[in-house]
Amino acid sequence: ETSYVKNKVKDPSLASWGRKEIELAEAEMPGLMSLRAEYGPSKPLAGARIAGCLHMTIQTAVLIETLIELGAEVTWSSCNIFSTQDHAAAAIAAAGTSVYAWKGMNEEEFNWCIEQTLFFGEERKPLNMILDDGGDLTNMVFDKYPELVAGIKGLSEETTTGVHRLYERMKNGTLPIPAININDSVTKSKFDNKYGCRESLVDAIRRATDVMMAGKVAVVCGYGDVGKGSADSLRNAGVRVIVTEIDPICALQAAMEGFEVKKLGTAIKEADIVVTATGNCNIVREEHFRALKDKAIVCNIGHFDNEIDMAWLNNAYGSTKIEIKPQVDKYTIDGSDVIVLAEGRLVNLGCATGHPSFVMSNSFTNQTLAQLELWTNTDKYENKVYTLPKHLDEKVARLHLAKIGVELEVLDQDQADYIGVPVEGPFKAEYYRY
């Protein structure tokens, strides 16, 4: 076991800048701030030692400080080597929390950082809660530190890809603790994945390349929640968008939205920009790289870096990589250039600052409610994957209405009886799809 390191960030002097941005973000995160007001005084998370592994951004800093305000001790690492905002990490370190995260770490450092979060303080007390995004922390605990599992009350998982891993474990009988699937709260996947990417995808491509978006042709691979937001992001910037899908329902949705739907092999020749959003592997491969126009931009907004065949680009074809600037690389394939962003890792966090605070407040209010639920009602949960009950999903949404001036109608008793719901909700059946 390694010796105790209190924290590790790129540059502690960035803390005051980080703190100023955290204060701005708080004003855009009404869900988290109202949980602080509601639960801060009673400290229901007292005794919880939450290890978190989630992009160490300004928004995440507000989540961390909410968990602390509710009584938890927290350690943190980032779930992607490029996604840390160094000023956010510095501010969290300066406030006394053990954070191990910096932008541009390597894989070995990435694992080292996660490992540091498992043990708290000089006494090296082990974690007793997991808050994860993508499952890397979860897998490290389950596979490498199984002796810690007995002391852990539960885990909450942020994203589609991590949630897939958990359901697989449940199916195989290898899920050793209760888990809450944050992603499939309506107020997460139908907001963060969709409206978040609608803001952050084009932002990332612009910051990385400054390319004129209007008039270009983009291919978006995958038309799930992230694909829907990504396609909209590009369309709103004046880009002509072509979608690829395997699922006839999502393909039909894309077509009804007015997007062309083609096979990647067909669309690739026209593409100025290719974005993968499938959560699947091997989407953009050799034959596609060879068919691309000169100076085409290729990037991924899914969780892992296996959507684009980086191994072929980096090794199999021969090394043609030239760094334009960090997270922007040029490769030359058969005489024409391909611009690859963030080495194929999720582009909105690698080349920009991820989603805006307001949408992340929805996701992180779900996260906080899940941690509260697992910590305070442990006995209610078996070693299964759960989603939060609908009344909490509705609560998350409700907490975000006033900030943007939304007025809600209120049912009278006759109306409530007529549609068969309680006056105060929940307003929809479980099978309703939004």
Q: Which of 8, 188, 194, 216 is catalytic?
A: 188
- Concerning whether 303 is annotated as a catalytic residue, the answer is yes
- Choice between 15 and 267, CB closer to ligand NAI: 267
Distance CA 288, CA 293 (A): 10
Residue 425 Cβ, how far from ligand NAI at the closest point, in Å?
25
- Concerning whether 367 is annotated as a catalytic residue, the answer is yes
Taking CB atoms, the residue at the shortest distance from ligand NAI is: 224
- Concerning whether 355 is annotated as a catalytic residue, the answer is yes
Q: Is 60 assigned to a binding site?
A: no
Q: Is 325 assigned to a binding site?
A: no
- Concerning whether 192 is annotated as a catalytic residue, the answer is yes
For the chain, what is the largest distance between any 2 Cα atoms, rounded to a whole number of angstroms? Answer: 71
- Choice between 277 and 292, CB closer to ligand NAI: 277
Contact 239, 218 (CB under 8 A): yes
CA distances from 212 to 10, 184, 207 (A): 33, 35, 11
Q: Is 22 assigned to a binding site?
A: no
Distance CA 370, CA 389 (A): 10
- Concerning whether 8 is annotated as a catalytic residue, the answer is no
Q: Residues in the site for ligand NAI, rule: CB under 6 A?
A: 159-161, 189, 192-193, 196-197, 221-227, 244-247, 250, 277-280, 283, 301-303, 346, 348, 355
DSSP-derived secondary structure for 384-431: SEE---HHHHHHHHHTTTGGGT-------HHHHHHHT--TTS--S-TT
Q: Which of 78, 181, 300, 361 is catalytic?
A: 78
- Concerning whether 133 is annotated as a catalytic residue, the answer is yes
Q: Is 323 assigned to a binding site?
A: no
Q: Is 348 assigned to a binding site?
A: yes
Contact 334, 32 (CB under 8 A): no
Distance CA 147, CA 128 (A): 12
Residue 221 Cβ, how far from ligand NAI at the closest point, in Å?
5
Contact 15, 93 (CB under 8 A): yes
Distance CA 292, CA 267 (A): 10
Residue 54 Cβ, how far from ligand NAI at the closest point, in Å?
11
- Choice between 128 and 159, CB closer to ligand NAI: 159
Q: Is 157 assigned to a binding site?
A: no
Burial environment of residue 380 by CB neighbours within 10 A (0 to 12, 13 to 18, 19 or more): exposed
Q: Which of 192, 199, 232, 307 is catalytic?
A: 192
- Concerning whether 55 is annotated as a catalytic residue, the answer is yes
- Concerning whether 189 is annotated as a catalytic residue, the answer is no
- Concerning whether 305 is annotated as a catalytic residue, the answer is no
Q: Is 355 assigned to a binding site?
A: yes
Contact 266, 287 (CB under 8 A): no
Residue 166 Cβ, how far from ligand NAI at the closest point, in Å?
12
Distance CA 91, CA 226 (A): 30
Distance CA 332, CA 16 (A): 42
Q: Which of 21, 28, 69, 158 is catalytic?
A: 158
As annotated, the active-site residues are 55, 78, 83, 133, 158, 183, 188, 192-193, 197, 303, 355, 363, 367
Residues within the annotated binding site for substrate? 57, 133, 158, 188, 192
Going by the annotation, the residues of the binding site for NAD(+) are 159-161, 193, 222-229, 245, 280, 301-303, 348, 355
